[in-house]
Amino acid sequence: MGLDRKALKSRLLKKLLAHPELNHLRTLGDEELLTSIRETLQKKTASELWIFAYGSLIWNPLFPHIERCAVTVEGWQRQFCLLAPVGRGTIENPGLVLGLEEGDRCQGIAYRLEVDDNLESELLLLWRREMVVGSYIPTWVKAKNSSQQIEALTFTVNSEHPTYVNNLSPEKIVESLATAKGVLGSSAEYLSHTVQGLLAEGIEDQKLLELDRLVKNRQRELDQ
């Protein structure tokens, strides 16, 4: 199955994480998520609301938007640095998903949301997806395209979180992405969809392209 709005409305991710072996990962309830949303919006300085996508939100945003464009964010880079013991992997073989860490630059997609009476309920679905265990930090960043600079909300990695890993070897990253699979799909699919989503916007992330090649090669080896 894939992640969709029905799954978010049913709190699927929170349910998947309710496993005795994952009790070190505290899940957040809706009241805590709403508090986080309101505190985050209080820090917004622009009248518009943009969301910066650098991973699965590129190819599966699941929220209505009125505009989208390719942008670059300076001072941050995407990295496979978060373990996925459910969704894209299992407890026995956790997958990996992307986080945004301090670094060089990151190209991705910015979505402009309608600022109306439905905004909080839409953001709650987004928070159930990105913030269910607090592995990300809602962060306002400056995103640029060829014609403008915008203030955008994104989810940077929480380096204090138990799922954060920053010492994996390149070989371990390839092995995890090539082999891990959960109820939402495989980590390899997550990587491939991100690469294809970027390419559809004319963005060639050379590190992701090379990683995707290595993962596919490893999967072919395993199939032999």
What is the domain-level CATH number for residue 123?
3.10.490.10
In whole angstroms, what separates CA 131 from the centre of its chain? 10
**136-to-22, 95, 112 alpha-carbon distances in Å:** 17, 17, 21
Question: Which residue reads 């072996």 in tokens?
Answer: 21
Say yes or no to pLDDT of 1 above 80: no
Compute the distance between CA of residue 186 and CA of residue 167 in angstroms, rounded to an integer.
Answer: 22
Per the structure, the complete domain to which residue 104 belongs is given by 5-223
Query: What's the average model confidence in pLDDT over 35-44?
Result: 97
89: helix, strand or coil: coil
In a 13 Å sphere around the CA of 45, the CA atoms on its Cβ side amount to 6
The model's confidence at residue 167, banded by pLDDT at 50, 70 and 90, is confident
Active-site residue, from 32, 39, 114, 130 = 130
Compute the distance between CA of residue 53 and CA of residue 58 in angstroms, rounded to an integer.
Answer: 5
Which amino acid is located at 29 in the chain?
A: G
User: How many structural domains compose the chain?
Assistant: 1
The candidate with the shortest Cα–Cα distance to 1, out of 189, 199, 135, 128, is 189
Residue 130: active-site member? yes
Please give the model's pTM, rounded to 2 decimal places. Answer: 0.96
